[in-house]
């Protein structure tokens, strides 16, 4: 069975534990990169990450995006939405459909 994790600052991801997700409170880029590699090795299928943290580790996320798993899903944190998540959805739609329909 695949596992799901949420990574980010405590205030943003704490509630995901109530849904049964593994939660990790991380704010530093180096720590986040190490954690994502560990989760990847441990067989996690989906990793939710706050947009603020994802912005700090774009290079690591680009590397992971080439593999089928884990799926990295940027989510807005309590400090606001950077638009990164919607941009990623839009890029996926363009790849799948061939044009921007969003």
What confidence score (pLDDT) does residue 101 get? Answer: 67
pTM (2 decimals)? 0.82
Tell me the two tokens of residue 9. Answer: 């600052």
What confidence score (pLDDT) does residue 24 get? Answer: 98
Q: Would you identify the CATH topology of the domain 3-97? A: Rossmann fold (3.40.50)
Start-to-end CA span in the chain (Å): 33
What confidence score (pLDDT) does residue 77 get? Answer: 86
Which positions of the chain have pLDDT values less than 50? none
Tell me the two tokens of residue 1. Answer: 């069975």
Reduced DSSP (H G I as helix, E B as strand, rest coil) percent helix, strand, coil of the chain, to 5: 50, 25, 25
What confidence score (pLDDT) does residue 59 get? Answer: 93
pLDDT tens, residue by residue, 74-88? 998 887 667 766 676
What confidence score (pLDDT) does residue 66 get? Answer: 84
Domain residue ranges of the chain, discontinuous segments joined by +: 3-97
For residues 24 and 22, what is the distance between their CA atoms, to the nearest angstrom? 7
What confidence score (pLDDT) does residue 89 get? Answer: 67
Show the beta-strand stretches assigned E in 1-102.
3-8, 22-25, 44-50, 71-75
């Amino acid at each position: 069975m695949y596992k799901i994790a949420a990574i980010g600052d405590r205030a943003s991801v704490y509630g995901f534990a109530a849904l049964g997700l593994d939660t990790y409170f991380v704010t530093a880029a180096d720590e986040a990169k190490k954690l994502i590699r560990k989760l990847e090795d441990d067989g996690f299928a989906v990793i939710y990450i706050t947009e603020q943290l994802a912005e700090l580790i774009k290079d690591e996320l680009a590397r992971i995006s080439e593999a089928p798993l884990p799926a990295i899903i940027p989510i807005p944190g309590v400090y606001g939405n950077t638009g990164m998540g919607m941009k990623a959805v839009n890029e996926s739609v363009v790849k799948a459909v061939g044009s921007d329909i969003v």
